[in-house]
Amino acid sequence: MESQTAPKKPAAGKAALLWRFLKGSKRFYIGAILCAVAITFLDMLTPQIIRVTVDNVLDTKPLNLPQFLQPLLNLVGGVEGLKQNLWMIAVAVVAVALVIALFRFGNMTLTAKASETLVQSMRNQLFSHIQRLPFSWHMKNQTGDIIQRCTSDVEMIRNFVTDQLMQVLRVVVLLTLSLSFMISMNLKLSVVAMVSIPIVVSYSVFFHQRIGKRFTECDENEGILSTIAQENLTGVRVVRAFGREKYEKDRFDKQNEHYTNLWVKLCRTLSYFWGLGDGVSMLQVMLVIVLGSSLCVKGEMTSGELISFISYNAMLTWPVRSLGRMISEMSKAGVSIDRLSYIMASEAEKDKPDATTPPLDGEIRYENVSFSYDEEHPILENVSFTIPAGSTFAILGSTGSGKSTLMHLLNRLYDLPAENGRITIGGVDVADMKAAWLREHVGMVLQEPFLFSRTIGENIGITRRDMTLSDIRQAAEIACIADTVDELTKGYDTIVGERGVTLSGGQKQRTAIARMLTQKTPIMVFDDSLSAVDAQTDLLIRTRLKERMKDATVILISHRVTTLMQADQILVLDKGRAVQLGSHEELVQQEGIYKQIYELQMSRQEEEVGA
């Protein structure tokens, strides 16, 4: 299974997805932006207070103040009022600082609220969409890579929106206000201060694609590393059983080293990028101070204007330096949005507009069914048969003959193309039914039973919210797992561990059977789900099913003839084709695959008994 990467989306497409994720957090971000604008504006006042103090209060130079600040000065009696009450200047500075602190508190609080709400929205939307993606999609995408997209990439987008994007907006406001003040004081020096901005933008664009490309490689290889770790953690018993610890460690080390080297290359590129940015910014600060001092000596600037100008330039220095870094982070965020877009753009399962919910207690018909997972390897070829309602139907065939595929098509884990035949229940095509309705009424125990890391009772009763302990016990009794559970110290409250690791293979299969039985479906499919139980338990389970679920249509898939021989009809598959169909008595009289397998298994059984 290969990891899929979303095709490059236009900026509008990325923005639309981001806007969708922002549902529920927009008002918090708007509030945080307004607070940031207020902070930036208030930051502009302190240098003006210092300039007026140096030039007009301590010195006697003519007053040169922006028009909107003039009313504030008049409130304290103008310049003369300040000369007589210097303490007012200190109070003004402290007052501005206190108001800034208030807005900064609001900004940080709202940003935190917006950030966590955004992450919650992204996780909820991703998880909900992934739950509705078709089974075929999950088969093509590695679990570790999906997890990495839903964790690291989500975090990357959160950081971008909360930090970088907010910072960009603040820088725009800061540039606008600072430059307007700086130009009003000295146009020549303002031009010198602005020269660095296009330089920063130019080299940032140059590095943008390189950083994005290398971050993509790092992100994808992190997904591969996560997959290796996830597979080894879930399959630790298999690894140890076959003594493959060293092999798996070497495999992990190799991928980890490759992943580390990719990050080293990325960091080297970022080092060039950041180093160049710091050099340009520091050169700009030096030029402003040197030329500003020269202009001050020549009388083209006042001392207060120079101090104020340097203050505004200092406010711009870090944002301009960080502007390039923001662009690099935008590269990373763009990659992450592309990777999440691949998930969100993948088409979810959809029912037809006129999908129905018919009763599913009728006969099942497969009519000329052909299917393949890819164009080169057909799995089923023109298979036709009928399963009468309430009967027990068995399917026998070698590995890869298409037995499980038949059942996956029955409950639409895979959709059957219209030109490849059709499957009906009670005369209604399953393609015309609602998928949820169909799966609620077709109980299935898969080849590899999956148990959640919960109690045995919760695993059995997971199919219905109104499940009682009595219902759980009844299903466990039919599945021959009740006695085993009763022997456990905590009974049905026993935690089975991840994937049911504390249970044996047979116990897991019987627990999965009990879980399916709680659905009380009219159709029950056992996909080689009795392979890990002994022959006696196998017979006992089938006997109890026949006694207590006699109205249900039962489909048995197995390699064990003794499991199938009591069925009303047995279908034999060979390389995707239906080669034999009949009862056990009929098939053992025919020359063919069924008779060969029956005689082979019976002779082995006699040898084991004789031994």
pLDDT of residue 246: 84
Taking CA atoms, 579 is separated from 66, 379, 397, 554, 557, in Å, by 94, 14, 10, 21, 16
Give buried/exposed letters for 19-31 (b at 16+ CB in 10 A, else e): eebbeebeebbeb
- Please give the C-alpha separations between residue 413 and each of 367, 405, 445, 556, 557, in angstroms, as whole numbers: 18, 9, 13, 18, 17
Quick one: angle between helices 505-517 and 469-478, nearest 10?
Answer: 120
Task: Count the alpha carbons within 13 Å of 291 in the hemisphere toward its beta carbon.
Answer: 16
pLDDT of residue 25: 87
Give, to the nearest 10 degrees, the angle between helix 26-52 and helix 87-131: 160
- Distance between CA 112 and CA 105 in Å, rounded? 11
Q: For the chain, which residues make up each domain, given as ranges?
A: 11-345, 364-610
Q: What b-and-e string marks burial along 536-574, b requiring 16 or more CB atoms within 10 Å of the CB?
A: ebbeebbeebeeebeebbbbbbbebbebbbbbebbbbbe
* Residues 420-453: tens digit of each pLDDT: 999 999 999 999 999 989 988 898 888 777 888 8
- Of the candidates 583, 539, 545, the residue with the CA atom closest to the CA atom of residue 565: 583
Distance of CA 287 to the CA centre of its chain: 49
Distance CA 283, CA 277 (A): 10
What is the DSSP code (8-state) at residue 433?
A: B
How far is Cα of residue 330 from the mean position of the Cα atoms in its chain?
Answer: 20
> What Å distances lie between residue 212 and 70, 344, 536, CA to CA?
49, 21, 61
pLDDT (0 to 100) of residue 46: 81
Which regions in the chain score pLDDT beneath 50? 1-7
**What pLDDT, on the 0 to 100 scale, is given for residue 320?**
66
Give the ranges where 186-244 is alpha helix by DSSP (H). 187-234, 236-241
CATH architecture of 11-345: Up-down Bundle (1.20)
Helix ranges (H only) for 132-186 are: 135-140, 143-148, 154-159, 166-185
Q: Which CATH number fits domain 364-610: 3.40.50.300, 3.40.309.10, 3.40.640.10, 3.30.700.30?
A: 3.40.50.300
Predicted pLDDT at 461: 86
Q: What is the DSSP letter of 360?
A: -
Do residues 346 and 137 lie in contact, with contact meaning Cβ atoms separated by under 8 Å? yes
Query: From edge to edge, which strands make up the β-sheet containing 364-372?
Result: 378-387, 364-372, 422-425, 428-429
| pLDDT in the model for residue 454 | 84
Picking from 184, 182, 189, 176, the residue whose alpha carbon sits closest to that of residue 288 is 189
Task: Supply angle C-alpha 429, 400, 589, rounded to 5.
Answer: 85
Instruction: Say which residue the tokens 């009289």 belong to.
Output: 589
For 202, residues 6+ apart whose C-beta sits below 8 A from its C-beta are none
Beta-strand relationship, 364-372 and 422-425:
antiparallel
Q: How many angstroms separate the CA atoms of 298 and 300, rounded?
A: 6
Could you give the 3-state DSSP secondary structure of residue 358?
coil
pLDDT score of 126: 92
Decide: 416 and 423 in contact? Cβ < 8 Å: yes
Phi, psi of 538 (to 5 degrees): -55, -50
Instruction: Work out whether the CA dihedral 46, 73, 59, 84 comes out positive or negative.
Output: negative
**Is the Cβ–Cβ distance between 426 and 362 less than 8 Å?**
yes
* pTM of the shown model: 0.69
Contacts of 55-61 with CB under 8 Å at 24 or more apart are 55/302, 55/303, 55/304, 55/305, 56/82, 56/304, 57/82, 57/83, 57/86, 57/89, 59/302, 59/303, 59/304, 61/302, 61/304
